[in-house]
Structure 1
Amino acid sequence: MPAPAHDAPAHAFQAPRPWWMRRTALIGFFILIMLPFLYPAIPPLTDLPGHMGQYRVEADHALSPALQQYYALHWHLNGNLGADLILLPLGQLLGLEPATRILIMLVPILTLLGFFNLARTVHGTVPPATLFAMPLVFNTPFLFGFVNYSLSMALMLNAFALWLRLGQSNHMALRAGLFVILSPLLWLCHVYGWLVLGLCATCAECARLSDRRWPSLARMLLRLLPLTPPFVIMAFWRGDGGSEHWNYNWSDKLVWIAKLVCDRWMFFDIASAVFLVGMLIFLLRSRLMRPDPRLGYPAIAMLALYCVVPSAFGGGSYADMRMTPYIIALGFLSFRPRPVAVSGSAASRLRFLPVLAVGFFALRCLGTTASFALSATVYNQALHAVAHIPQGQRVAAFVGRGCRTGWNPHRLDHLPSLALLRRDAFVNDQWNIGRTQVVQPIYFASTDPGFHYGQDPSQIVMAQPCGPAWSLDRSLAELPRERFDFVWLITPPAFNPHGLDGMTEVWREGAQALYRIPHDTPLPAR
């Protein structure tokens, strides 16, 4: 890669503002981003209902005897608290559900602002190539409901832009003072956001030094010191358990590239991933565009890290998948047109790029809107079921799945937590993953014979046993009925209805049904 003109935005002339950066176009982009959130009462992101249940525990634990019986709340410093800390005060002001809806909608908006801020900082404008990153605001980690991670990455993009801007203007003391504060806050939001900021900043500083003498390496390391305070926090912080399972699978890495924007329709999503990767390859090969190392080097470094990092380690999951949209996005952000005269046909191709990018962005936003609307139907049914559950009850929920993993994220996995959110109920879908949580399900102790029913993934059932997942028949047969008040079936697979003998159906809508377990009659023989 050619070295940039380092300490200033890389633009040699003042061009008029392009049409995609005018006010009407920007308003149009943000309206398109907000469209998917207008209809669903709760954004249908896979893990979000589970997180919202945790937010309820964090907000009301001291006021609810039921929550105190079912869940432990232990506040401690850890790098996974972004949305939790924001929603505590915001939920008190607006109500937890509206506040969560607003925060989730802000994540893709902040991500888009981060793309634009980085492009303007490095290039002095927003080049056409940047627009191809816009569809990645609805990326797979976001659709999976990785709330703190997605929020931290959105903030990371804007923080990285600030880092570069202050470096270009030679405000090193101001930058150092700001990032001594900002880096721990970003770590507190999610550790990955802070780690990626450190990687990007290091690569950008290396790009600044690429045409200078290596004795400047010491100066570069000194400039990076403001990003290191979280190391001090982690040196004194000790986790409280959690899985140390490691998993590395090269074939999965290829799958996650195909699932760059994995939403609902396999053909649409794969075609979109092929289009984005193809456009990035086109830009790499084009003589009309050139990459800036301050963004190109971070993209290459993240790609190298993606190739070697395990999918799961240290209690975390999908570590590699989370990086894919941001690798591609930084690749697009790094490109700008070469400042040379081009032929008429080449110029027309450059003029066509923003039209193609904006059209594709609009198509993906409309697709996401349709997908969210379809999911909202099932979510609304779930809210109707929750209305039939009294306050503080114990709910054994079972969500049907196929043995083979489908294409789209299974958005119903943590739907049962809506009963925790609205009824302070115990539900068996909450995570119990040790040090990354402040909320722990405690209704079933680890020595309890029914411990399986005390946490995720006991809510996921199949028609037949499949790997660690139980069949619905087994889950109903071994259910400790004396410990639960309701059974909630969500898109159940085929099962023997005798497993429900002795229960009373209190609600049914579509594939969802709610059964009461009477405790004043003898239990049926098993």
Structure 2
Amino acid sequence: MIKTPHLVAEQAAPAALPKGSPRPWWEGRPFVAAMILLAFVPFLYPAIPPIVDIGGHMGRYKVAADLATSPFLQQWFSFRWLPIGNLGVDLIVVPLSKLLGVEPATKLVVMSIPPMTVAGMLWVAREVHNRLPPTVAFALPLAFGHPFMFGFVNFALSMALALLAFGLWLRLGRLGKSRLRAILFVPISFIVFFAHTFGWGTLGLMCFSAECVRQHDRGRSWWMAILRGAYHAAVMALPVLLVVLWRTEATGGLTHKWFDWDYKWQYLLRMFRDRWEAFDIASAAVVLAVPVFALIHPRLTLSRNLAFSGLMLAATYVLLPRIVFGSAYADMRLVPFAAAIFILAVRFKNETRFPLATWLAVAAVGFMLVRIAGTTASMAIAWNRQKVQLQALDHVERGSRIAVLVWDRCERWTLRRSDHLGAIATVRKEAYTNDHWPMAGSTLMTVRYPAAGWFQRDPSQIVRDPGCRHEGWSVRAALYNLPHDAFDYLWLIDMRPIPADWVDGWRPVWAVKGSILLKHVPLSEAGEEQRLRTLRTVRGPGR
């Protein structure tokens, strides 16, 4: 028989307090409501959520919603719905945009993902411990972890749904309603799958591990518990047929970068990566320290149920490659959720010691408030910058072709939120931009504009200086090779100072510090005065 590690609780969680007994404040409904509502705060102010990939997503939503009625979009894009595991936000925003418009619909859906994630975490903790542990709020800021801030919105939605579904799985198991659970989780598995395959796989792992523990607690050996756990979790296996069909029809999309330990270590430190490196790394250290503290403290421990789920997610993180089917950062996406599961596992060994519990609860809520305040400030700073940059679109005709170049400052900690800002031109002006990312088998939109050459799609908009860690266009090479006649405008975003002769043939029509919009004109029309104006206007953050 497999023995349970002594560092985690052997016995089940203690029962809830008797009905009518006063509960500590961190277990009450006002606390739950406050934590969920706090998760809405960071995105209340920005009109567009200022996360990295959101512009490209919004461009796709616009194409899906208006392609049939827009002759401009029809020139460059095609779109068809497919039953693939990467549809989550698209399925909600596209129909909702018919009522609200793409931008408000996107904001409404994206800002709802963190509160859903928080609600899922709280439900899981409540079901496992029969109460909310005082440390639970340490996990809640991970709803705004690196994957979400990077703009993986379909993935983030699927993980929010997976946590909510996991809470339901635990509750039905606790109530002994295994048959009802099996019936419900067939459609639930498809819902989570269509949001994003990753969430479906994570849900299966969590449910399997939790069921193994439940079966063992009912007196079965660990080997039999594993077999029973697999049997119960198998009700969620049907979407694998869609995976086989999807990947059979797909072309390209390599899976590689296995066991890249340097990146895997960095992703642990980057689980909160947003704007301020010291703040984000310190927050990651706090999160990693909480379960360690529980293991060494004489009165605390980890629930076997969630500890095993956390270990399974951690093992999956180690085994996952960095790129799966051409989709990058596959392993990175799992880090905040594995960390959250370990924190949710923390509990008292026996009865709750209220002086210690109160201090833990105050510290956890304080951590939540500090992270929410930091995220809110970061979003406001980013949106204030983007709001000014997007004024360039007031000077662009509808249906224009825009070459966008964004300067990469070589792996700075602060997330570069302008990578797909240019795609907002597709949303507002039905324009073509070169920062959309069609990938075989994983997206629904196709870009076709052969005249643009290399500048048809992402990542042609990213330009770097020599010496950067990642390869790519240099600023000068990109401007030299840009097919001028294929574009009406050149939009340089967050650009460093460049020589005026690099933009010969383009006339500036709008500029702010670091960003400039130029219109294509024959070189003969750009006299010396215009060249001097360009030189004065193309200024970067360092000037």
CA distance in 1, matches of 2:500, 2:396: 22
Instruction: Tell me the residue number matched to 2:252.
Output: 242
Is 1:47 the counterpart of 2:79? The answer is no
Is 1:109 the counterpart of 2:127? The answer is no
Q: For residues 229 and 341 of structure 1, do their structure 2 counterparts lie closer, same or farther at Cα, with a shift above 3 Å needed?
A: closer
Instruction: Tell me the residue number matched to 1:364.
Output: 371
Q: For residues 522 and 434 of structure 1, do their structure 2 counterparts lie closer, same or farther at Cα, with a shift above 3 Å needed?
A: farther
Q: Is the 8 A contact 2:393 2:425 kept in 1?
A: yes
Q: Is the 8 A contact 2:39 2:118 kept in 1?
A: no
CA distance in 2, matches of 1:512, 1:431: 23
Is 1:494 the counterpart of 2:497? The answer is yes
Q: What is the CA distance between 1:78 and its match in structure 2? A: 0.9
Instruction: Tell me the residue number matched to 1:221.
Output: 230
CA deviations 1:375-410 (Å, max 9, x no partner) are 1122102321112111111000111112x3111221
Q: What is the CA distance between 1:477 and its match in structure 2? A: 1.4
The 5 Å alignment of 1:237-316 reads 237=246, 238-248=248-258, 249-316=260-327
Q: For residues 341 and 356 of structure 1, do their structure 2 counterparts lie closer, same or farther at Cα, with a shift above 3 Å needed?
A: closer
CA distance in 2, matches of 1:22, 1:468: 52
Instruction: Tell me the residue number matched to 1:333.
Output: 344
Q: What is the CA distance between 1:338 and its match in structure 2? A: 2.3
Is 1:184 the counterpart of 2:194? The answer is no
CA distance in 2, matches of 1:179, 1:245: 29
Q: Is the 8 A contact 2:270 2:280 kept in 1?
A: yes
Alignment-mate amino acid for residue 372 of structure 1: M
Q: Is the 8 A contact 2:209 2:309 kept in 1?
A: yes
CA distance in 2, matches of 1:33, 1:387: 33
CA distance in 1, matches of 2:186, 2:352: 44
CA deviations 1:225-273 (Å, max 9, x no partner) are 2101101222333343233051131011111111111110011111111
CA deviations 1:426-455 (Å, max 9, x no partner) are 1011113211000121112xxx6x521011
1:77 match: secondary structure: coil
Instruction: Tell me the residue number matched to 1:459.
Output: 461
Following TM superposition, where does structure 1 have runs of at least 4 consecutive aligned residues deviating by more than 6 angstroms? 519-524
The 5 Å alignment of 1:19-418 reads 19-210=25-216, 211-213=219-221, 214-215=223-224, 218-237=227-246, 238-248=248-258, 249-340=260-351, 347-402=354-409, 404-418=410-424
CA deviations 1:492-517 (Å, max 9, x no partner) are 12322112222221111221111111
CA deviations 1:206-230 (Å, max 9, x no partner) are 1123341445655433322210110
1:247 match: secondary structure: coil
Q: What is the CA distance between 1:274 and its match in structure 2? A: 1.1
1:492 match: secondary structure: coil
Could you tell me the percent identity over the aligned residues?
37
Q: For residues 274 and 221 of structure 1, do their structure 2 counterparts lie closer, same or farther at Cα, with a shift above 3 Å needed?
A: closer
The 5 Å alignment of 1:427-438 reads 427-438=433-444
Q: For residues 521 and 64 of structure 1, do their structure 2 counterparts lie closer, same or farther at Cα, with a shift above 3 Å needed?
A: farther
Alignment-mate amino acid for residue 312 of structure 2: A
TM norm structure 1? 0.93
Alignment-mate amino acid for residue 377 of structure 2: A
Q: Which runs of 5+ in 2 are unaligned?
A: 1-7, 528-543
TM norm structure 2? 0.90
Is 1:478 the counterpart of 2:516? The answer is no
Alignment-mate amino acid for residue 155 of structure 2: Y
Alignment-mate amino acid for residue 325 of structure 1: P
CA deviations 1:438-489 (Å, max 9, x no partner) are 0121112xxx6x5210111111112447553112211111111111000001
CA deviations 1:51-100 (Å, max 9, x no partner) are 01111011111111111111121221111000000112221122221111
Instruction: Tell me the residue number matched to 1:510.
Output: 513
Q: Is the 8 A contact 1:242 1:315 kept in 2?
A: yes
Q: For residues 100 and 378 of structure 1, do their structure 2 counterparts lie closer, same or farther at Cα, with a shift above 3 Å needed?
A: same
1:437 match: secondary structure: coil
1:209 match: secondary structure: helix
Alignment-mate amino acid for residue 236 of structure 1: L
2:508 match: secondary structure: strand
CA distance in 1, matches of 2:367, 2:243: 42
Alignment-mate amino acid for residue 513 of structure 2: G
Alignment-mate amino acid for residue 148 of structure 1: N
Q: What is the CA distance between 1:341 and its match in structure 2? A: 7.5
Q: Is the 8 A contact 1:61 1:67 kept in 2?
A: yes
CA deviations 1:327-352 (Å, max 9, x no partner) are 1110111122222485xxxx422220
Q: For residues 85 and 340 of structure 1, do their structure 2 counterparts lie closer, same or farther at Cα, with a shift above 3 Å needed?
A: closer
Higher relative contact order by CA 8 Å / sep ≥ 6: 1 or 2? 1
1:359 match: secondary structure: helix
Q: Which runs of 5+ in 1 are unaligned?
A: none
CA distance in 1, matches of 2:117, 2:333: 14
CA distance in 2, matches of 1:340, 1:502: 75
Q: What is the CA distance between 1:521 and its match in structure 2? A: 6.3
Q: Is the 8 A contact 1:462 1:493 kept in 2?
A: no
1:433 match: secondary structure: coil
Q: Is the 8 A contact 2:208 2:232 kept in 1?
A: no
Alignment-mate amino acid for residue 214 of structure 2: R
CA deviations 1:135-168 (Å, max 9, x no partner) are 1111110100000001100110000111111111
